[in-house]
Structure 1
Amino acid sequence: MPAKDFYHDIFVQSLIKEGWTITDDPLTLSYGNRDMYVDLGAERTVIAAERDKEKIAVEIKSFIGASPVRDLEIAVGQYSIYQSVLSEIESNRILYLAVPLRVYESILSERFGQLILTNLNIKVIVFDHKNERIVKWIQ
């Protein structure tokens, strides 16, 4: 199992504050004879005509490497693999990439970052690691 991301625990608290229940830490995905580990699985009850559960999987990335482009390449690679597997084994679970606010305000808000997020249809959760809160959900 891979090591937890630098902001893992902070993001977990941010998600809990928003009313989510952490169901898997990590969320294990198995396909064929391969296992993968998404950082989190979470759900919350949605109030509608009928009660249902919203389920998400979250890959947390800190972008603390020497190159933000390389960090994005790694994040996008993991996201793509997990999305492919989830679409086959648990299509009702929505995958998100969680990033600190400073990452969103830098590389992901730049023209380059927007191109990648849009063309690859990457869903993002932006969190404020200093105040342990979620700032933005990007569909």
Structure 2
Amino acid sequence: MPAKDLFHDAVRTALEKDGWTITNENLFIKIDKIEFYIDLAAERVLAAEKAGQKIAVEVKSFIGISVLTEFHAALGQFLNYRSALRKQQPERVLYLAVSFDIYDDFFTSSFIQEVIAEHKLRLLIFDPNIEKIVLWKS
């Protein structure tokens, strides 16, 4: 069973406060012989639904030694998970959840913004202290 991310509970609560219903906290997808939990390397995914919209959320804390290295891993996971979701659950939209502090310190740089645009990353920016969604970026 995949491990829980540091901010998993904060993101879950923030989604619920925003009116989402959590439908699955460990979204399992199997493509050929490859199994995805959309939950690798001690990360956690939430699947949620609101007004007919379905999302999957990959929670990342970016607390490792290098934020850039963590970003590389998160980007790779995001791309793989999005491809898997397109095959198994095309109605579900994938978001990468990051704390406001990490977003403000790292994700707002022009180069990272270019990478986000190039790869069409969708971000859910949250405040872990008040367990609230600050911004959705599509």
Q: TM-score, normalised by structure 1?
A: 0.92
Structure 2 gaps of 5+ residues are: 39-44
Residue number in structure 2 paired with 1:62 = 61
1:73-131, CA deviations, whole angstroms, 9 ceiling, x for partnerless residues?
A: 01001100001111111111000000000111011001121011111000000000011
1: CA distance between counterparts of 2:57 and 2:37?
10
Q: TM-score, normalised by structure 2?
A: 0.93
Residue number in structure 1 paired with 2:72 = 73
Give the percent of matched residue pairs that are identical in Structure 1 and Structure 2: 39
Task: Please tell me the residue identity of whatever aligns with 1:43.
Answer: E
Superposition RMSD in Å: 0.8
- The offset of 1:2, in angstroms, is 1.9
Residue number in structure 2 paired with 1:102 = 101
Runs of 4+ in 1 over 2 A off after TM superposition: none
Larger Rg: 1
Structure 1 gaps of 5+ residues are: 46-52
Q: Give the strand-richer structure, 1 or 2.
A: 1
- The offset of 1:7, in angstroms, is 0.4
Task: Please tell me the residue identity of whatever aligns with 1:41.
Answer: A
Aligned residues: 132
Three-state SS of the structure 2 residue aligned to 1:126 is strand
1:20-50, CA deviations, whole angstroms, 9 ceiling, x for partnerless residues?
A: 00000111111112211121111012xxxxx
Three-state SS of the structure 1 residue aligned to 2:116 is helix
